[in-house]
Amino acid sequence: MSKKEIEHRIQTLSKEIEEHNHRYYVLDKPSISDFEFDKLLEELIQLEKEHPEFLKEDSPSQRVGGAITKVFKSVKHKYPMLSLSNSYSEEDIQDFDRRVREGLGMGEDLFSGSGVEYVCELKFDGLSIGLTYEQGQLLQAVTRGDGVQGDDVTTNVKTIRSVPLRLSGSFPERFEIRGEIFLPRKVFDDINREREDIGEAPLANPRNAASGTMKMQDSAVVASRKLDCYLYHLLGENLDYEGHYESLEAAKTWGFKISEHVKLCRGIEEVLKYIHHWEEKRFKLPFDIDGIVIKVNNYKQQRHLGFTAKSPRWAIAYKYKAEQVSTELLSIAYQVGRTGAITPVANLKPVHLGGTTVKRASLHNADIIEKLDVRVGDHVFVEKGGEIIPKIVAVDLSKRKPGAHKTHYITHCPECGTELKRSEGEAAHFCPNQNFCPPQVKGRIEHFVSRRAMNIDSLGAETIEQLYEAGLIKSMADLYDLKKEDLLPLERMAEKSAQNLMDGIQASKNVPFERVLFALGIRHVGETTAKKLAKKFRSLDAMMKASRETLLEADEVGEVIAESLLEFFSNEQNQELIKRLQHKGLTFELHESQIKAGSEKLKGFSIVISGVFTRHSRDELKELIELHGGKNSGSISGKTSFVLAGENMGPEKLKKAQSLGVKLITEEEFEKLIQ
């Protein structure tokens, strides 16, 4: 392909990929398979890598992330980000309507049947964001901050697939659109399941998870979190619309994700209907809302009503009260998780709450039980908040039976009888009997065989239970001693499924090192950390010999992970387990093809990369510098060894390099240097 053709192909691919993104993430109507989509994206990324001169800031390849934001720049909002006043009852809403009508000079008698036109919307429970577009391109994304100024999180927001990087149709030259970034409930549950897998405390709720994610420095991690964004407020000079509803309709045609539940209501009665409709239905939404927002539709009327110091007079939020019921606490059970953490669970007399029947509620930990002073036989108030599992919020002391026994938290593991421990600063008790406590052993084996670990997909939780009960497996290493004859006597185990299982176990020996490392279930070592560790140490033996300092040198490894690794490797039973797994032929080192040969050729060199390159991407060059012992630096100073200069190096940098006498070398010269 000629340069012109390549440029054209990149443009076509970008457009096509963005259209598919829009179909998938905004319209929820994909027209190609994930596989086909990935192929298109791969082709684009490859072409841009080979021809970085054609890489545009709004290319869909930017959505996979990778750029790091060290410090989020503080930006003043062009229009302050106000909040809404809250209301909690029908009367509050009636009062709001009265104030609006009075403000607009619509007397009681004028209001006969027709009423004010309101727009009702869901109140998304996430973090607010302001997106500025200029000439149809996303220019900047800023968080709410204190309402006057917020953080520039553009790089992170670009990874959200439903946020258009480039608009279609005819849109204003420059405008801001505000909305809410949130984490869909399913994604939140998946993240927490993964965190639990590696023994990390679960995130409290989707809102905290979303705002925590936006503050992350590594946009690749943000991209992996699968955030979503609904837009609900268009701002700009000379907007050519009569009202809010029309503006949202227009924004929808430019590519923004506008909720399908926005409703134009005539008069307050229709508003109340909308509120009641969502009171129950909200639990069926795939994301959390904490209420409804009601806005006067007409722009002229909005202007007439104006603002108080804190919020617009033309809008109000209606907050749903968390629904509460009272029921009897029948017993308290204590569950033991894969990592040994104990969770107390309340068994309740079944009761109807928020559209479902509730039989159990989480009691979280010993402190909460102590604080609530909850006792078996008590009547307790149960509430459904954002979380799926309802929680006990209080005890109805007026109904406490005389002689009800104070709850004493268990001191020993209900599964294996070992005395429980509690680490300083941690809320949960845990059972330290890692290697013999049945739910911990079974849980670890389940993790070991899971899809993203050893991927022995013919081995589900039920079969693990059977094998464990039959005394055939007591650790993951025992899987590799299984014989087909052992399996056949098991219930529901036919010849074919036994063979599948044997084949799956055999095939797992080829699973690459980083996944084996993840499969071991070392606390705090998730998939990404396992990859980084594998890349740095290349073999388990090298990793086991590493000192704390050397462990800390690996990307992503801080004190907590280093400590966890040292503890895991110093445990004799773990050493024994690793020996057995090594003996069985599992992969405990990187494959040759995964290793790029490094050297010390650039040791002591501080190198600045500047300009556009033809043979490598900037990230590749950075990686090469590190691979050969050099240091990447962002700015030219007297300490700079040389500037690796591509085409179109910035004039300021060039001047600085010349004035300090720093040498410039080309990409070809650099290649020779490290050969």
- Residues lying near ligand IVH in the complex (CB under 6 A) are found at 82-84, 121, 123-124, 128, 180, 232-233, 293, 312, 315, 317
- What's the min distance (Å) between Cβ of 122 and ligand IVH? 6
123 has catalytic annotation: yes
> Closest Cα partner for 533 from 518, 511, 523?
518
Please identify the residue of the shown chain whose CB is closest to the bound ligand IVH. 128
Using the minimum distance from each CB to ligand IVH, give the nearer residue, 123 or 226: 123
Neighbours of 193 (CB within 10 A): 10
Tell the smallest beta-carbon distance from residue 247 to ligand IVH (Å).
Answer: 12
Please name the helix (run of DSSP H) or strand (run of DSSP E) that holds residue 249, with its range, or none.
Answer: helix 244-254
Query: Quick one: 312 or 629, whose CB is closer to ligand IVH?
Result: 312
Distance, C-alpha 57 to centroid of its chain: 23
Nearer to ligand IVH, 220 or 235 (CB): 235
- Strand pairing class (74-76; 86-87): unpaired
Q: How far is the CB of 232 from ligand IVH (least distance, A)?
A: 4
CB nearer to ligand IVH: give 261 or 360: 261
Q: Quick one: 128 or 433, whose CB is closer to ligand IVH?
A: 128
What Å distances lie between residue 623 and 68, 87, 342, 620, CA to CA? Answer: 15, 55, 43, 5
Residue among 622, 670, 617 at smallest CA distance from 51: 617
Side chain identity, residue 567: E
In sequence order, what are the residues at sequence separation of 6 or more whose Cβ sits closer than 8 angstroms to the Cβ of residue 222?
A: 65, 156, 159, 213, 214, 216
Amino acid at 626: E
- Compare residues 293 and 533 and give the one whose CB is closer to ligand IVH: 293
Cα torsion 374, 377, 379, 384: sign: positive
Least separation in angstroms between residue 135's CB and ligand IVH is 25
* Alpha-carbon span 326 to 348, nearest angstrom: 10
89 DSSP 8-state letter? S
DSSP 198-234: TTPPPPS-HHHHHHHHHT-SBHHHHHHT--EEEEEEE
- Which position among 123, 252, 295, 531 bears the catalytic label? 123
CA angle 270, 271, 276 (to 5 degrees): 95
Alpha carbon distance 478, 315 (integer Å):
64
Q: Which residues contact 391 (CB under 8 A, 6 or more apart)?
A: 361, 362, 364, 382, 383, 385
The answer to whether 335 and 410 are in contact (CB under 8 A) is: no
CB of 98 vs ligand IVH, minimal distance in Å: 20
Shortest distance in whole angstroms from residue 24 CB to ligand IVH:
23
CB of 96 to ligand IVH, least distance (A): 14
Backbone φ/ψ region at 540: left (φ over 0), alpha (ψ -120 to 50), beta? alpha
**Cα(507)–Cα(430) distance, integer angstroms:** 35
Neighbour-count burial for 325-345, b at 16+ CB within 10 Å, e otherwise: bebbbeebebebbbbbbbebb
The dihedral region occupied by 226, where left means phi > 0, alpha psi between -120 and 50, and beta the remainder, is left
Minimum gap (Å) between residue 390 Cβ and ligand IVH: 24
In the bound state with ligand IVH, the residue whose beta carbon lies nearer, of 83 and 547, is 83
| Identity of the residue, 121 or 415, whose beta carbon is nearer to ligand IVH in the bound complex | 121
Q: What is the DSSP letter of 636?
A: -
Cβ 259 to ligand IVH shortest distance, Å:
7
Nearer to ligand IVH, 230 or 613 (CB): 230
Instruction: List active site positions.
Output: 123
